[in-house]
Structure 1
Amino acid sequence: MKRIQIHKWIIEYNYNKTKEFYKNFHLITDGCDCLNCKNFVEAIPVLPKDVITFFESLGIDPRKEGEVSEYCENEDGTHLYGGFFHLVGRLISGPDVWNKNDESGTMKSLDKDLYKIENFKFGFTNEINLARDGFPEPILQIEFEGIVPWVISEESGKFI
């Protein structure tokens, strides 16, 4: 495991095990055929290079495994997406991106603590959701939110 600091977090992660899992896993669109997921996968090549480099530096292929949601369309035609991916690793120190609200017990994002790259925000959490069967342990979850262009035709699901 390699130990690195990313913004306010120190994590340990295994790049090779993470990359190997993603190499062998199917595209998000093989598990969901909605236009929002299809657009996310097809838009990966046009996302800012620094965002893709960040995912890849952790061994993550953002076209695969993750949980992705489209939240809204922006006035300029881009879309706000959010979701999470997994990597083989653990959070050593830094704020958990999700924090329990003392009154209601619900979770809330700590937006001020997020790591920003271009039009994306990232954070780490120990709250592991929907990890795929066979994902190597220990598992660390990376949350994201970002602006993604719409690159497919809504009628056909094909590239615009």
Structure 2
Amino acid sequence: MTEFVFGPYRLEVDVEATRAWYDRYGDATGGCDCAYCRNFTAAVETLPPEVGEFLARLGLDLRRPGDASECGPVEGGRLYTPLWHLAGRLLEEGEEPLLLAQGVKAWFATGQGPFLRDFPEPFFQCGLELTLPWVLAEPEP
């Protein structure tokens, strides 16, 4: 286990177990092929590199969340809230999300449900709130 401190959050992560699960089972947006999920997969490349680097330290891939929800139009694009599970423990939870880059917030929590097949226990979640541009050639639904 590796301990991380990000602002008010303190976590203990089994980085290798997390990475191994996503390498085996992880599929960008859970395999959904809707326009919003395809746009997420394409548009995350427009984010500043520090967002992907933050997740990579934890054994996560920005392009392969366990779940990605599209929450509607906002200024500058579409609001998305991708979620990843991490093998380990959330030792201290913050009350406010972390600002990773302009328009990108991160948070950690427990209790989002063990909906991922064979995910190592104990576990907790990492979520992002971010705005992505519409980059697909097709019009927004």
Structure 1 length-normalised TM: 0.78
How many Å apart are 1:80 and its aligned residue?
A: 1.1
Q: Which residue of 2 aligns with 1:19?
A: 19
Query: Structure 1, unaligned stretches of length 5 or more?
Result: 96-109, 156-160
The count of aligned residue pairs is 139
Q: Which residue of 2 aligns with 1:47?
A: 47
Query: Structure 2, unaligned stretches of length 5 or more?
Result: none
Residues 103-150 of structure 1: CA deviation (Å, up to 9, x unaligned)? xxxxxxx5xx11011121111111133531111111111121001122
For 1:153 and 1:43, how far apart are their aligned partners in 2?
Answer: 12
Instruction: Summarize the Cα distance change of 1:89–1:30 in structure 2 as closer, same or farther, 3 Å threshold.
Output: closer
Matched, 1:28 2:28: yes
Q: Which residue of 1 aligns with 2:136?
A: 152
For 2:75 and 2:65, how far apart are their aligned partners in 1?
Answer: 29
For 1:56 and 1:79, how far apart are their aligned partners in 2?
Answer: 24
How many Å apart are 1:26 and its aligned residue?
A: 4.0
Structure 2 length-normalised TM: 0.87
Q: Which 4+ residue blocks in structure 1 deviate beyond 6 angstroms?
A: none
Residues 29 and 67 in structure 2, CA contact (< 8 A), matched pair in contact too: no
Residues 79 and 150 in structure 1, CA contact (< 8 A), matched pair in contact too: yes
Q: Please give the residue correspondences for 1:1-160 in structure 2 after superposition, counting only pairs within 5 Å.
A: 1-29=1-29, 31-76=31-76, 78-95=77-94, 113-118=96-101, 119-154=103-138
Residues 115 and 122 in structure 1, CA contact (< 8 A), matched pair in contact too: yes
What is the identity, as a one-letter code, of the residue corresponding to 2:50? D
Instruction: Summarize the Cα distance change of 1:29–1:124 in structure 2 as closer, same or farther, 3 Å threshold.
Output: closer
Residues 70 and 81 in structure 2, CA contact (< 8 A), matched pair in contact too: yes
Identity %: 32
The DSSP-based 3-state class of the residue aligned with 1:152 is coil
Between structure 1 and structure 2, the one with the greater Rg is: 1
Residues 55-107 of structure 1: CA deviation (Å, up to 9, x unaligned)? 1111111322421111122343x211113111111111123xxxxxxxxxxxx
